Structure 1
Amino acid sequence: MNWASLQDVFSGVSKYSTAFGRMWISIVFIFRTLVFVVAVQQVWNDEASFMCNTDQPGCTNVCYNLIFPISHIHLWALQLIFITCPSLLVVGHVKLREHKGYYVNPGKKHGGLWWTYLFSLIFKVAIDAGILYIIHYIYQGFGLPNLSKCSLSLCPNVVDCFISQPTEKKIFTFFMVTTSALCIPICIVEIIYLVYKCVHKQLHDQKGESVPGDR
């Protein structure tokens, strides 16, 4: 999928989103996706620059795998893919209804479309929260040490290993973590807003139906 197609997808979702949804799209598309593609991959794609103070064959490789059991960049790539999929589901649902000849009001969501949109928000919250938990659990936080100690069977003794560009990695790690943490409350507020609007509409419709019978 190229940038034009991705932009079309988010534009279609934005058309049927609330104000909170459009705020989420701005954060994900403009900030997270662009920064990830333009800068984050360049900073993290330097496995060859990882060094340990030993010439023992295989020691540096096993230490790298120990310190980085799961690549940050791969987790973020999966995160961006998974949180985009629900948006594709919403667009697909709208296209399906239009194909069947149903008019879809961009400002209103009813029936199955309402449930699809609500499910997409819950799924996004689960993915963002899950990725944050995985990173925090595996790396014992969101920071990165400038120096790591490693002692594995392939190493002659305890060796010192150095991560290249640790400051840049920390900056972009906190950026991705912060934007993920910011998207979670936005989605939760939008969920509350959708449920409130739905309940309010049902109460209003019931009230309107009861008025003629009272006269």
Structure 2
Amino acid sequence: TMWNILEKVSEQVSLYATLTGQVWYLLVYLFRLIVVVTIGSSVYSDEQSAFRCSTKVIGCDNVCYDKFAKISHIRFWAFQLLALSAPVIVFHFYTIHVKGRIEKLKVKEQEAIEREEQYQKELTKTEDTSKWGVIRNSVNNKIQRRKSRIGKVRPKKVYANTQLEEITLTRGIKVAYFLSVLTRFVMEIIFLFLAYDLFRFAEYPHTPNDGRIVSDGNSDAYIPCWVSRPWEKTIFLRYMNTLSVICLFLALAEIIQIGIRGGLELAKKKSKPRQELPRRRKPSQPP
């Protein structure tokens, strides 16, 4: 089911996330997704059927509702959560792809070792070693090329699900995770802007500002309209917007955190060669 897939993806990705990133996952999938699916459906179940205008003109309710809510809030939040989940899912499949390449590389290395052992056994039976040398060099070159594409593999143990689990870290995985966090940050900004542009954060108990229909060819008639359960929907809208802002700052904090960590690692790598260089002896001064 969808929940099982999201659970597996979030568990896998959270292993690579920082503490700030794990809080982001908690807010998005627990306090936003589940709330929209469970509570939102009941709150907005009658959003159009109970929408009323103070006129008996045929089609007035539909036109006014379209002016008031250009897109359903539930559908808007569904698109928002889908956009936020997309980089998470892409990163999940990328890590699976990298792990698969590493496992294939291990198999190739094991096969090369077994061939080498078999060759050592048959060495006394034949004197033609040049052919095997060419094959061995070709296999080793292929393995080295694959290693260079994957990059340096560094296993890391993290605490998850009440136990220590080992994850695989490469430069590509680190860059991919940073890009996923950056994409989430951009998506949060885009959907906050869209929410402001589409809904204008209007107070539901008030008459919609756009509740107008064309009465004739020259002027617009102002039509008062009413929404069912206005305060309840207002609170729900404020709740979702507040969480969006919090998640936006969490994504920004994680970007800064990853950037600082990457800068420290780079500085550490640059300082290592200098430390390993032997110190030159000072020439002895003449007495």
Give TM-score, length-normalised by structure 2. Answer: 0.70
**1:84, CA displacement in angstroms?**
0.5
The whole-number CA distance in structure 2 between the counterparts of 1:31 and 1:146 is: 28
What's the CA shift string for 1:14-36, capped at 9, x where partnerless?
11111111111111111111101
Equivalence for 1:153: 214
How has the CA–CA distance of structure 1 residues 75 and 5 changed in structure 2, closer, same or farther, with 3 Å as cutoff? same
Secondary structure of the residue that 2:224 maps to in structure 1? strand
Q: Which residue of 2 aligns with 1:187?
A: 251
- More moved, 193-202 vs 110-119: 110-119
Shift of 1:100: 0.8
Distance change in 2, residues 1:93/1:106 (3 Å)? farther
In the other structure, the counterpart of 1:143 is 203
Q: Which residue of 1 aligns with 2:83?
A: 82
Following superposition, the deviation at residue 214 of structure 1 comes to 4.0
**Which residue matches 1:21?**
21
* Equivalent residue runs for 1:104-119 within 5 Å: 105=156, 109-119=169-179
State how far apart, in whole Å, the 1-side matches of 2:169 and 2:99 are.
Answer: 13
Residues 151 and 12 (structure 1 numbering): CA distance in 2 closer, same or farther, change over 3 Å?
A: same
Q: Which residue of 2 aligns with 1:36?
A: 36
Aligned-CA RMSD value: 2.0
Distance 1:146 1:81, change over 3 A: same
* Matched residue type, 2:235: I
Q: Which amino acid aligns with 1:152?
A: I
Q: Give the C-alpha shift of residue 57 in structure 1.
A: 0.7
Residues 58-69 of structure 1 correspond to what in structure 2 (within 5 A)? 58-69=59-70
**Deviates most, 138-147 or 94-103:** 138-147
Unaligned residue ranges in structure 1 (runs of 5+): none
2:265 to 176, 201, 205: 201
Highest Rg: 1 or 2? Answer: 2
| CA drift at 1:138 | 2.6
Cα distance in 2 between the residues matched to 1:70 and 1:154 = 24
User: Residue type matched to 1:120 in 2?
Assistant: S
Cα distance in 2 between the residues matched to 1:58 and 1:21:
47
- Once the two structures are aligned, what percentage of the paired residues are identical? 25
Show the counterpart of 2:138.
Answer: none
Residue deviations 1:113-143 (CA, integer Å, cap 9, x gap):
1121111111111111111111112332353
| Contact 1:20/1:186 (<8 A) preserved | yes
The question of 1:126 aligning with 2:186 is answered yes
Moved more, 77-86 or 132-141: 132-141
SS at match of 1:164: coil
8 Å Cα contact 2:213-2:223 kept in structure 1 = no
Partner of 1:49: 50
SS of aligned partner of 2:156? coil
Q: Deviations over 1:2-53 (max 9, x none)?
A: 2122111111111111111111111111111110100112212321111112
Match of 1:169 among 228, 233, 247: 233
Paired residues in the alignment total 215
